[in-house]
Structure 1
Amino acid sequence: MDTYRERAEHFLKHETQFHLGVLPTEQSHPRTTGLAEVLQRDLPAGLRLLQGVDEDVLVASRRVFASAEYAALVAALTAALRRGARICFSGCGATGRLSILLEACWRHAWSGLAARYPELGALAAAQSERVCSIMTGGDYALIRSVENFEDYTSFGRRQVVEAGLARGDVLVAISEGGETSSVIGTILEARERGLEVFFAFNNPAAILSQHIERSRQVIEDPGVTVLDLSSGPMAVAGSTRMQATTAELLAVGMALDQALTALLPTLLPAAVLAGLPETWRQPQDGTARLQDLLADLAAPAAVAAMAAWTTAERDLYAAHGRLTYVAAECLLDIFTDTTERSPTFMMPPFRKCDDRTSPPSWAFVKDPTRPTPAAWSAVLGRAPRCLEWDAALYATLGGPPSTKVQPPRLGQAEILKFQIGCEDDPSRYESAANAAMAVLLTPEATGDGIGTWLAAWARLSRPFQRRLAAVVGPSAPALPGVEAVFHVPCRLVSTPLGLWHRLAVKLVLNTVSTATMGCLGRLTSNWMASVEPTNKKLIDRGSRLIAELAGVDYATACHALHQTVEELAASTRPGQERRSPVAVTIARLRAAPPVRPS
């Protein structure tokens, strides 16, 4: 396939299992039609429009939490922990980052107990290893998207092998759409190895089974327990990092939280157990808690704070500036949101410290208290777990031709080149406009260790033009040397995994980052007009978007997209910010009538 025409025809004729327009997660939401225009005209109204779709997750949660499948998940996780087996979460893209987050929450829960009760050190160390995660592409993909990996079931299978999972363990596979090949690969390998398997996704199981063969294969497997979390289309069509991943974090996170709540009385001394918060010792009502959180975030004070935060980011990026988030507990939440902005809105991805060619990312993330190697270990709760695959292994796995010629460098040495620690990085403040923004939750902003953290923050942020802060939670203290504090008031319920802390930060970051991009013209109505087509699913999504917005048929859109991809690859210079092939194609087709190739 040497020409764009041949590649387009191949996709149209031979990749029909990746034509996903029938799935609700790929469709536009009728309530957010005109979203971009509302955000640009009336920002608070646009924020409320975005938040309104989160209510769909609330409605679906009542069905999910009452289901036999959810009860089976809680029972399986609890039983696995009691017998000393392992639990593994697997995902790709946003759900891969969610899987890493769940493992990190588990590890941080136990390290926190050990810090408070040193006599629990050995117990905490052993229990920390009971939960692991598989991210398609390894931990490297947490901070920079890895092209094409999700299209290969063999990659998912291999990562299960490398994780050492065995009979008696539990795999919880998570896929927003329910059709991700690499995630399905983890299911297939886990089934062959005798694991107990659960599959959580956000499209109706019946639609997936009818239209997507690889999905049907696992959904109809009696050895796989299916959790259908579907709640309808996303606020932005196809942006499953939003409501779909919120539903998954809520359901799967609640199940793990409940399992840990049930486990603690069997492991902890009575005196320690009695000293824990009541909300650690009693299962929470997930639907009621989510309802409270959504109500808090939709209140006028919270919307006003998010509008001010969005305006600050919009103005900075419009001036070609760079923002550096600085955080502690929220580091992993910010990694997830900022990494996903790159393929969603065609923003420059995070840049390695030895890369002097690629444009710097608009946003970056820093831990002000630790050097990079220690910062990575702290945020993950362990050393980075990366792929050290060579060309021979990619060939064995049937990977794309490029991996056999030049294997992608995804190992631990590469992830450490993303300097997320306290090292000075002039590239973050050498632009004409720049800012450092502290992102904190109320408990850490008012906690005993905040003085040490603020001193480190002051050192790191000193070279920046502006120093801002965002605080999520019931109160926000005055922070010295900070120009503005965006306080998003909401209740934060404490549970063993800190689930409601994670959900609050996720909802706020998703809302602010999506609104910012909408204000900057990176959305068209409620469509991701600047998406980067780096895999088969995104080629399909881009083709459907072009067809919708340029008024052409799907085949014409697909051909035009492949043509643009080829032309941009030839014309984009090293160090130049890349343009979205989808946005360029839409503009070209709107300007001139399309001509289908003969």
Structure 2
Amino acid sequence: MLDNLSTEGRNDKTMRMDEMSSQEILTVMNAEDAEVPLAVKKAIPDVAKLVEQTIRSLKNGGRLIYAGAGTSGRLGVLDAVECPPTFGTDPSMVVGLIAGGEKAFTKAVEGAEDSLELGGADLVEIKLTEKDVVVGIAASGRTPYVIGALQYAKEIGAVTGSIACNQDSEISKWADCSIEVVTGSEVLTGSTRLKAGTAQKLVLNMISTATMIGLGKAYNNLMVDVQPTNEKLVARAIQIIVQATGVNELTAENAFQKAEQQVKPAIVMILADVSYEEAKKRLEKAQGFVKEAISITS
């Protein structure tokens, strides 16, 4: 079955790679990697469809859940755990499931990806509902764990999405929104952590970022729901306020502190010339969108 997958084919540019110099290996890898964004570009309409579905679901109280095995699972977990610090989301809003559980993130759990039942069981464990979105990730497009997760998600009535790196993949058949980024053969045959993994990471970046922007997590191109959990992020939060409002750093820091170290209300306080309490009310009325909150008249 692997013979039919483009991700498993041998790359004719690297047939004698074991005889190449380090620079030659890196040069061919770089050239192959350069093809990945072009492959992703072809899938943008499908990614957009999934993003729109996800925005609707999350506005309705649902969650975005990634399910994958091996590299694909790790990439999903990575994208999920980056959402709280970047976008101020509750950790339960974006969830990454990997075959074999959390321990599989750092050490392979043999056979976990081969179980159809385990994919569904992991969704049962987190109490999947019809409000949620489940995105199955598999470079091959045929991982049983991912298929099982998508099958269960469809039974429940959740929105389903898929990310694969082969055309006409098995997981696409179970997805309402299927994304296929055909990256072709790897420089090292079958090592889909390379081009396929890069493609998956790019698509995941798109899904989470565009979804969060659609939920009001950005003002212009500033990440205004950043969580100031360390000194670097406190400095970044103050700089975002400066960039958004044009005030000096001291004024921005004062507003930031008055707003209980929240960037959004600080910006509204400055640009609408209102109190913290009024800024909070406006943001609530505007469902978190800063521009709408600023334009609200009393």
Given that residues 25 and 177 in structure 1 are in contact (C-alpha distance below 8 angstroms), is that contact kept between their aligned partners in structure 2?
yes
Match of 1:63 among 10, 29, 42: 42
Moved over 4 A (4+): none
Q: Which has the larger radius of gyration?
A: 1
Q: Is the 8 A contact 2:81 2:91 kept in 1?
A: no
Distance 1:148 1:128 in 2: 28
Of the three residues 211, 217, 232, the one matched with 2:184 is 232
Q: Is the 8 A contact 1:95 1:174 kept in 2?
A: yes
**Deviations, residues 40-64 of structure 1 (Å, cap 9, x unaligned):** xx22222111111112212212211
Which one of 56, 74, 79 corresponds to residue 97 of structure 1?
74
Q: Tell me, in whole angstroms, the C-alpha distance in 1 between the residues paired with 2:24 and 2:3.
A: 29
Q: 1:248 matched to which residue of 2?
A: 200
Do structure 1's residue 43 and structure 2's residue 22 form an aligned pair? Answer: yes
Distance 2:202 2:73 in 1: 15
Cα 1:279–1:161 shift into 2, 3 Å? same
1:11 maps to: none
Q: Within 2, Cα distance between the matches of 1:129 and 1:162? A: 13
Are positions 1:32 and 2:14 aligned together?
A: yes
One-letter amino acid matched to 2:3: G
Relative to 1, partners in 2 of residues 1:184 and 1:278: Cα closer, same or farther, differing over 3 Å? same
Residues 57, 247 of structure 1: 8 Å contact kept: yes
Q: What TM-score comes out, normalization by structure 1 length?
A: 0.36
8 A Cα contact 2:141 2:172, kept in partner:
no
SS of 2:177's partner is strand
1:341 match: none
Q: Which amino acid aligns with 2:28?
A: L
Where 1:89 maps in the other structure, the secondary structure is strand
- In structure 2, the residue corresponding to 1:128 is in which secondary structure? coil
Shift of 1:262: 2.0
Aligned-partner SS, 2:207: helix
Any gaps of 5 or more consecutive residues in structure 2? 237-298
Amino acid at match of 1:48: T
Could you tell me whether the CA contact under 8 Å between 2:172 and 2:179 is conserved in 1?
Answer: no
Shift in Å at residue 224 of structure 1? 2.8
Give 1:566-581 correspondences, 5 Å limit: none
Amino acid at match of 1:93: G
Q: Distance in 1 between matches of 2:204 and 2:80?
A: 12
Aligned match of 2:291:
none
* C-alpha separation in 2, matches of 1:140 and 1:195: 27
Q: Secondary structure at the match of 2:4?
A: coil
What letter corresponds to residue 234 of structure 1 in structure 2?
E
Match of 2:96, SS state, is strand
1:74 and 2:56 aligned: no
Separation in 1, partners of 2:60, 2:177: 20
Q: Is the 8 A contact 1:172 1:198 kept in 2?
A: yes
Question: In the alignment, which residue of structure 1 is the partner of 2:216?
Answer: 264
Q: Tell me: CA distance 1:279–1:243, structure 2 relative to 1, closer, same or farther (3 Å).
A: farther
Question: 2-side partners of 1:197 and 1:163: how far apart?
Answer: 16
> In the superposition, relative to structure 1, how do residues 196 and 448 fare at CA in structure 2: closer, same or farther (>3 Å)?
closer
User: In the alignment, which of 81, 84, 87 is matched to residue 61 of structure 2?
Assistant: 84
* RMSD of equivalent CA atoms: 2.3
Distance in 2 (alpha carbons) for counterparts of 1:203 and 1:89: 19
- Say if 1:56 and 1:232, in contact at 8 Å, map to a contact too: no
Which residue identity is paired with 2:210?
Answer: Q
Cα deviation for residue 74 of structure 1 reads 1.2
Task: Letter of the 1:261 partner, please give it.
Answer: I
Letter in 2 for 1:219: S
The correspondence for 1:168, drawn from 114, 124, 131, is 131
Structure 1 unaligned blocks of 5 or more: 1-18, 111-123, 209-214, 266-272, 282-377, 379-443, 450-598
Quick check: 2:60–2:131 contact (8 Å CA) kept in 1?
A: no
Q: Return the letter of the residue paired with 2:156.
A: R
The AA in structure 2 aligned to 1:86 is R
Partner amino acid for 1:44? Answer: Q
Farther-moved stretch of structure 1 (196-205 vs 25-34):
25-34
Give the deviation of 1:181 after TM superposition. 0.6
Query: Per the alignment, in what secondary structure is the counterpart of residue 34 of structure 2?
Result: helix
Alignment correspondent of 1:154: 117
Distance in 2 between the 1:35 and 1:190 partners? 43
Report the residue type matching 2:112 in the other structure.
F
Q: How does 1:355-434 map onto structure 2 within 5 Å?
A: none
- For the 8 Å contact 2:66–2:134, the answer to whether it is kept is yes
1:30 deviation in Å?
1.4
Identify the residue that residue 464 of structure 1 maps to in structure 2.
Answer: none
Give percent identity, aligned residues only: 25
What is the distance in 2 between the residues matched to 1:219 and 1:103?
22
- Match of residue 265 from structure 2: none
The alpha-carbon deviation at position 255 of structure 1 amounts to 1.7
**Cα deviation, residue 175, structure 1:** 0.3
- Is the 2:52–2:211 Cα contact (8 Å) retained in structure 1? yes
3-state DSSP of counterpart to 1:172: strand
In 2, distance between residues paired with 1:46 and 1:70? 32
Secondary structure, in 3 states, of the residue corresponding to 2:200? Answer: helix
Equivalent residue for 1:476?
none
Match of 1:109 in 2: 86
Match of 1:219 in 2: 172
Map 1:184-203 to 2 at 5 A.
184-203=147-166
